[in-house]
Structure 1
Amino acid sequence: MRSPMWQKSVTFAPMKRFDPHSLWRPVVWVCRFRYRRGYGVHSPFAFQLITRVFYERGEFYAYRPLAALRRTKACGQSERLDRLILRLVNDVQPSHVALWGDMVGMTRHYVVAGCRRARIDEIGCGDLPDGKHYDMLFARRPEAVQSLFETFAAQAPDQAVAVFEGIHRSRRRMAQWKAACRHPRATVTFDLYDLGIIFLHPKLNPQHYLVNF
């Protein structure tokens, strides 16, 4: 005997929470219009990163399976930002990645897709462990951006990179971000509004870039 239709089980994807911070995005885009697509950037390193990583519009091999996976999971940040993390990891090819904060599980899948050989540690919201020489840090909405970066920079090798999500979500975080950018090991930094990225490349001249992403 066939079961009535109302007895069929239905699986719903996790609901997305409304983020009031997103209401500012159109205003930010207009204010940063002249900082798009690498215009006025003379550094070959920065120009390559902006045009071939930040603004890459190609369809990466992992986008579709990851999009299907994220429909079944709670996600800490937008698909757009997770895709950027994938492209950045694919470009940097880190060997040891620290994921700091809550709800970073989906981001982990994008990191793995970008560099399958990378070891990945999910730290939670505590301190970075001693003796771990991470060459990439992704931190989701940390309040203490400065101290977290200082701990990371004290142990990280040259050419490491730190990524902070949510640097514009409060004045305190923005002040912490600016302080982190002044760290002696911070050389090239990028403010993408939703993300802040700091490179520890000692051979590059210190420079800060605003990017309309």
Structure 2
Amino acid sequence: MNLFPFSNTWRETILLYRFLRYRKGFGVHSPFAFSFITKVIDERCGYYCYQDIELIRRQLVHKGNKLAGKDIKHTHGELLFRTVNYFKPKTLLQIGSPAGIASLYMTAYASDLKAIVLEKDASSAETTAWSLQKYHSKARLCPGDYEQTLPAALQELGQVDFVFFQAAQKKEKNRFYFEEAMKHIQPDTVFFLEGIRANQEMRVLWKEICNRKDVILTFDLYQIGIVIFQPRFYKKNYVVYF
């Protein structure tokens, strides 16, 4: 008899939130992890770019563009901006861009960045191009199939400081993207993954990522996963309320 009359996803959600231990940094002994949780994840200060970026989203919605609603939601976009602003990477790569909203959050912190945005869908690439131009972003859009554009972009960037995975597809595809990006990391590289619980395949992939020996710190924010490779830290997975 099933003693838990809920779906697996709902039951997982209940258990996850029941055992959250690191909200607002409580119980965190690592100075780096405590700083990241309190100064980035839990920070709620407004930045000038938030309103400007959301204005572009509203303009797309007003024009009847449905892709804007499929892009990163504003709370996750703000976290993306704060994360990039905290680590201050110089080379950035985004895999998947429904409308360019996340691209703007990712690149708004500075103008002297080398950023490449990949998108395989023609309509999404067109909308992303419009958003980047509207915001005067220097991020470069590379449309086309990821199997071709991803290796080429990584080769151009050399070592990547920051990679944002927004392409929620089958686990095998995402594993390919992850493994390709892993060939170009350095100790301070940061991976930011959206949709780590979008489906069962993504949940399995996220668990595999957390268990990798070359992955040192992971921050599990339920739908967002942040990966740190810096070997000077002790291996740890932080489940944080967000």
TM-score (norm 1): 0.81
Give the superposition deviation at 1:104. Answer: 5.2
Higher relative contact order (CA 8 A, sep 6+): 1
Identity of aligned residues (%): 29
Distance 1:153 1:110, change over 3 A: same
Q: Separation in 2 of the partners of 1:154 and 1:48?
A: 28
Q: Which has the higher helix share?
A: 2
Matches within 5 A, 1:20-99: 30-31=17-18, 33-73=20-60, 74-75=68-69, 76-99=71-94
CA 1:49–1:104: 2 relative to 1, 3 Å: farther
Higher Rg: 1
Structure 2 CA distance for aligned equivalents of residues 28 and 91 of structure 1: 30
Residues 117 and 143 of structure 1: is their aligned pair in 2 closer, same or farther, counting only changes over 3 Å? farther
Q: Which residue of 1 aligns with 2:170?
A: 143
TM-score, structure 2 as length reference: 0.71
- How many residue pairs are counted as aligned between the two chains? 191
Residue among 123, 144, 159 paired with 2:118: 123
1:156 matched to which residue of 2? 185
Q: Does 1:210 align with 2:239?
A: yes
Partner of residue 177, structure 1? 206
Equivalent pair of 2:90/2:161 in contact (CA under 8 Å) = yes
Once residues 34 and 206 of structure 1 are traced to their aligned partners in structure 2, the CA distance between those partners, rounded to angstroms, is 17
Q: Determine helix, strand or coil for the equivalent of 2:94.
A: strand
Which blocks of at least 5 consecutive residues in structure 1 are unaligned? 1-22
The alpha-carbon deviation at position 30 of structure 1 amounts to 4.5
Per-residue CA distance 1:134-162 (angstroms, 9 max, x = gap): 21110112433433222212111221011
What residue in structure 2 maps to residue 17 of structure 1? none
CA RMSD in angstroms, aligned pairs only: 2.3
